[in-house]
Amino acid sequence: MRSSSSSSAHASAKHDHTKCISAALDTAEQLCVVRGVQLTPIRLQVLKLIWESHQAVKAYELLDRLKPLKQEAKPATVYRALDFLIEQGLIHRIESLNAFIGCHYSGQQHEQLLLICKECHEVEERSAPAVMDALSSEIDQAGFIAHSKAIEIHGICAKCSKETDAQG
Amino acid sequence: MRSSSSSSAHASAKHDHTKCISAALDTAEQLCVVRGVQLTPIRLQVLKLIWESHQAVKAYELLDRLKPLKQEAKPATVYRALDFLIEQGLIHRIESLNAFIGCHYSGQQHEQLLLICKECHEVEERSAPAVMDALSSEIDQAGFIAHSKAIEIHGICAKCSKETDAQG
DNA sequence: ATCGAATATGTTATATTATCACAACTTTGT
DNA sequence: ACAAAGTTGTGATAATATAACATATTCGAT
Ligand SMILES: [Zn+2]
Ligand SMILES: [Zn+2]
Ligand SMILES: [Zn+2]
Ligand SMILES: [Zn+2]
C-alpha cells in the first residue's frame, strides 16, 4: 500500500497551483507580445500542459495529452512548440531526464539550479546566486566563455524525505 | 577552408596525451582489482576508445569504433560497458550531449564541473571546490538530499577562443 | 485588397539513443 | 565437479528526436 501515496499526494497540497499556472501564462503572453513573437494556440496549449504540475514532463507524454485536443498532433508538433518555449525562456529542458518543466523566472535572468526529486518527480528551480557567482568565477578562471549553464541535482525533496520518515 | 583547422589541431598539442591514457588505464585497473570487479577486455577496450581524446564520444560512435575489433559488438555491448564504467566512476555521462568522457578524478570524490566546448567538443573536468561548497549549502537550505550532481557548461574553451581571435 | 516574405503547421519518413528478454558462456567459490 | 553469480551474444523493440517538403497563416508594404 505504499505505492500510491507518494506520487500524487503532496503535489496538490501546500500551495495554490492555479496561481502558478495563471502567473506563468500571463507572463508568457506578455513576454511574447513585447518580443513580437507568436504564442500560438499550439504553443499555449503545450505550455498549459507543462504547467499542469511541477513534475518533469516528457515530450511523448505531452504528445499523448495533446492528441485529444489536437488530433493532427505529431512528434514534430510537440518538439516545435517545445523549441519555441525554450527559446523564449518559458520552460526548461531537463537534460538528465529528457524532460521539460515550466520556468519560474521567465522574465528575468537565466542560470538556474534544478532540484529533481526521484520520488515525486517534482522539480524545484532556484536562482542560487551564491552558487552562480562561484560558478562564474570558476569558469572565468578556466578562460572559458559560457553560453549556457545547467545544474541538475537528483535526489529526494524535503516533502518526500519527511513522508518517508513518517511512514517508517 | 575553415572547416578542418579547429577540430583536430589543438587536441594533440600542449600535452602528452599518452600519459593521460596510461594514467587513466592504470587507475582503472587498480580500482577494479581493489573493488573485486572485472575490467573485462570489452570494458577495457571501450575505456581505451573513450580515452583516445578529450572529446565527448557518443555510444554509437564507440560502437562503430569497436566493431572492427569485436565483430559481435551490438548496442547492448557498448551500453553495458558504459554502465559498468560509469558505476565505477571511470567515465562520466554528459547528459546534455548523450555522450561520454573519461573521468580525470577516478579514485577520488565525485562532484565535477564539466566545461564543454561547442567548437572542438573537448571537455574539461574541474573539481571546483568553491562552487561545490556553495552548491551543497544551497541544497541543504532547500532541505533536499542530493544523490547526484551534474554541472554542465556549454561554450567556447580558452584554446578555441584564442584561435578565433587569431583567425579574425 | 492584394501581394510576397516570413512564420507556422501538416505529414511522412527516418535518424538517433537506449533497453529488454532470453540463451549461452565464463568466472568464482565450494 | 558443481552451482551461483556475473558476463556476453543476439534479436527485437522502445523511446527520443529530427529531416524534408508541402500547405497554410500572419503581417507588413504596396
Ligand atoms: Zn504550483
Ligand atoms: Zn519529492
Ligand atoms: Zn590528454
Ligand atoms: Zn574548444
* pTM across the whole model: 0.90
d(CA A117, CA B148): 11
pLDDT of residue B163: 80
The 10s digit of each residue's pLDDT in A131-160 is: 999 999 999 999 999 999 999 999 999 999
CA of A37 to C1' of C4 (A): 20
Domain B4-167: top CATH class: mainly alpha
The ligand that comes nearest to the alpha carbon of residue B142 is: 2
Which cell numbers in the block locate residue B109? 570524490
pLDDT of residue B167: 64
* Nearest by Cα to A125 from A111, A138, A135: A111
- B69 in contact with A, Cβ within 8 Å: no
The reply to whether the CB atom of residue A12 sits less than 7 A from any atom in nucleic acid chain D is: no
Interchain proximity B139–A96, CB inside 8 Å: no
The domain ranges of chain A are 4-167
d(CA A58, CA A25): 20
The 10s digit of each residue's pLDDT in B74-108 is: 999 999 999 999 999 999 999 999 999 999 999 77
* Nearest by Cα to B126 from B105, B101, B96, B155: B105
Measuring from the CA of residue A37 to each C1' atom, give the nucleotide at the shortest distance: C7
Average pLDDT, chain A: 90
Q: What secondary structure letter does DSSP report for A132?
A: H
The 10s digit of each residue's pLDDT in A89-114 is: 999 999 999 999 999 999 776 788 99
Of B117, B147, B154, the CB nearest to A148: B154
CA of A76 to C1' of D21 (A): 14
Which cell numbers in the block locate residue A165? 520518515
The 10s digit of each residue's pLDDT in A13-55 is: 679 999 999 999 999 999 999 999 999 999 999 999 999 999 9
